Structure 1
Amino acid sequence: MKILIIEDEIPAAKRLEKLISECRPDAQILSVIDTVEDALDWFRSEEEPDLVISDIQLADGISFQIYEELNLECPIIFSTAYDQYAIKAFELNCIDYLLKPYSKDALQKSFHKLDKFSPIQQNSLKELDLTSLVKQFSNGNLYKQRFLISKADALIPISIEEIAYIYTEDKAVMIKTIEDKSFFINYSLDDLENQLDPAKFFRLNRQFITSIRAISKISQYFNGKLKVELKPVQDGKVIVSRAKTPLFKSWLEK
């Protein structure tokens, strides 16, 4: 079996390669591609693989754009870190999906589903319409809906609606919930700024991203800056720069 991986996170791609080697030792990884543009170039110059395992959100766009533009016959397994409500939209348009972080067993089940499809059924995938999915995700449904937090031996799902703000502390990135609980997450604020719904969250400065519900008071500060008081209360001053002040005010009024 010849497999193409489309994944822009290097650790995730390496882990997937390892899981594939364990689940299907005879599989050949043709390439690991990390952008929509490179994937389009690859498909235009190479024979189709037996299977594509594809992330959804890539560095330069949404991978659905690849399958909308090209008339591919190969089956696809999507892998994604995003919520079930979005995944349901394309559940019938691919062999299977893997919800990150996924296990070896989950990947094995995806391979079993693939095995149940006859070549004719697999070829019929080219008739599936992904246009509506591109539109759905382009309209904002790709924003992160929850975090899966590791704490001790437990995994704790934290909904976006539970988050008051996200901040840095001693080079670590922390979530502060409405209930005043703090959790470490393995993301940078730059990454989160792109993954969170901008209608609900605003990047105040280098240290803080806040939800609208966490803002308790805003006051004028020096040189056109703003001082923001958050709830739950945060130690130290939270300052919005003069350059960001107009954007912040506009965001508050939406």
Structure 2
Amino acid sequence: MTILIVEDEEATARKLRRLVQEVEPDATVAGMTVSVDESVEWLQTHPKPDLILMDIELADGQSFEIFNRMPVTSPVIFVTAYDEYAIKAFKVNSIDYLLKPVKEDDLRSALMKLRRMKEAFLEQPDGLNTSLATLLRKLAASSSTEEPPTPTEPAYRDRFLVKQGQRLFSVPLSDVAYIFTRNKLSFLKTRDEHEWMIDYTMDELSTLLDPNRFFRLNRQVIAELRAIDKVNLYFNGKLKVSLRPVFEEEVIVSREKAGEFRIWLGE
């Protein structure tokens, strides 16, 4: 088995390499990369690894960007510092994930799970890649080459499940004014000024929300049309947006997105 380790923390990368050698003595760590750019270059210039151990937060962005830039068919085990609640969305159809600091037993269990999956798909060579592709579509941001949803899947979400204590309930999108990030977590802001945490990244949400109703103003905020209170010209062709309910931070639309935003508003 050949393994690529994608990890920007040197100490964690060394530990992963040591654990791989202890848990899977016959495995070969074929490469170790620290960024999105380096990982893409490595995958384009080397034979496909049998497995990728991949951190989510890298030096130059989230590792999901790798899948936007090129097709990745190797099974992936994500390594993350997120707590379990924040990464529940990644568990659907995933190969596995490991929480930092990675433990030997966790890695051994993940490799055993991969082995069982390969055995299950032994008579269907494309089966494992199909399962992985399903995961990657859920994790990666939307791209022009992404396959459209199947007829059995709704095109866009109309509600989100949120948690309050031990209670779960749905928040209709008609109640949502905007969605924003704080400390790498995503939150719904409703028109009555409630905030609810949801287990989706902003890139995922960009593919789940109706673009006629929602616009991604910048990396931090996705707003519903009725939440746009004021739009003012800003320097260098940028736009400054005021939201309602009021958003605590300044919301700036870049010069590159300003034209698209103005068209979306009805120009």
TM-score normalised by the chain length of structure 2: 0.50
Residues 124 and 140 (structure 1 numbering): CA distance in 2 closer, same or farther, change over 3 Å?
A: same
Residues 126 and 70 (structure 1 numbering): CA distance in 2 closer, same or farther, change over 3 Å?
A: farther
Residues 22 and 130 (structure 1 numbering): CA distance in 2 closer, same or farther, change over 3 Å?
A: same
- Aligned pairs (5 A) from 1:32-43: 32-43=32-43
The answer to whether the 8 Å contact 1:53/1:79 transfers is: yes
The answer to whether the 8 Å contact 1:7/1:58 transfers is: yes
The answer to whether the 8 Å contact 1:8/1:58 transfers is: yes
- Distance in 2 between the 1:64 and 1:17 partners? 22
Cross-structure match for 2:51: 51
Q: Secondary structure at 1:140's aligned position in 2?
A: strand
Cross-structure match for 1:92: 92
The answer to whether the 8 Å contact 1:68/1:130 transfers is: no
Q: Kindly state the Cα deviation for residue 85 of structure 1 after the two structures are TM-superposed.
A: 2.5
- Aligned pairs (5 A) from 1:47-86: 47-86=47-86
The answer to whether the 8 Å contact 1:86/1:142 transfers is: no
Q: Kindly state the Cα deviation for residue 67 of structure 1 after the two structures are TM-superposed.
A: 2.0
Taking every aligned residue pair, what percent have the same amino acid on both sides?
A: 38
- Aligned pairs (5 A) from 1:80-159: 80-118=80-118, 119=122, 120=125, 121-128=127-134, 130-134=136-140, 140=181, 143=184
Q: Kindly state the Cα deviation for residue 46 of structure 1 after the two structures are TM-superposed.
A: 1.3
Give the letter for the 2:111 counterpart: F
Q: Secondary structure at 1:5's aligned position in 2?
A: strand
The answer to whether the 8 Å contact 1:2/1:30 transfers is: yes
Residues 23 and 88 (structure 1 numbering): CA distance in 2 closer, same or farther, change over 3 Å?
A: same
Q: Deviations over 1:181-226 (max 9, x none)?
A: xxxxxxxxxxxxxxxxx9xxxxxxxxxxxxxxxxxxxxxxxxxxxx
Alpha carbon RMSD of aligned pairs, Å? 3.1
TM-score normalised by the chain length of structure 1: 0.52
Give the letter for the 2:181 counterpart: G
Q: Kindly state the Cα deviation for residue 73 of structure 1 after the two structures are TM-superposed.
A: 1.5
The answer to whether the 8 Å contact 1:80/1:100 transfers is: yes
Q: Secondary structure at 2:32's aligned position in 1?
A: strand
Residues 101 and 126 (structure 1 numbering): CA distance in 2 closer, same or farther, change over 3 Å?
A: closer
Q: Kindly state the Cα deviation for residue 74 of structure 1 after the two structures are TM-superposed.
A: 0.9
Q: Does 2:64 correspond to 1:23?
A: no
Q: Kindly state the Cα deviation for residue 93 of structure 1 after the two structures are TM-superposed.
A: 3.9
Gaps in structure 2 of 5+ consecutive residues: 143-178, 187-219, 221-246, 252-267
Q: Kindly state the Cα deviation for residue 144 of structure 1 after the two structures are TM-superposed.
A: 7.5
Give the letter for the 2:9 counterpart: E
Alignment length (residue pairs)? 151
- Distance in 1 between the 2:77 and 2:14 partners? 17
Residues 253 and 35 (structure 1 numbering): CA distance in 2 closer, same or farther, change over 3 Å?
A: closer
Give the letter for the 1:143 counterpart: K
- Distance in 1 between the 2:93 and 2:65 partners? 14
User: Where in structure 1 do 4 or more consecutive aligned residues deviate above 6 Å?
Assistant: 250-254
Q: Secondary structure at 2:92's aligned position in 1?
A: helix
Q: Deviations over 1:5-26 (max 9, x none)?
A: 0000000000001100000001
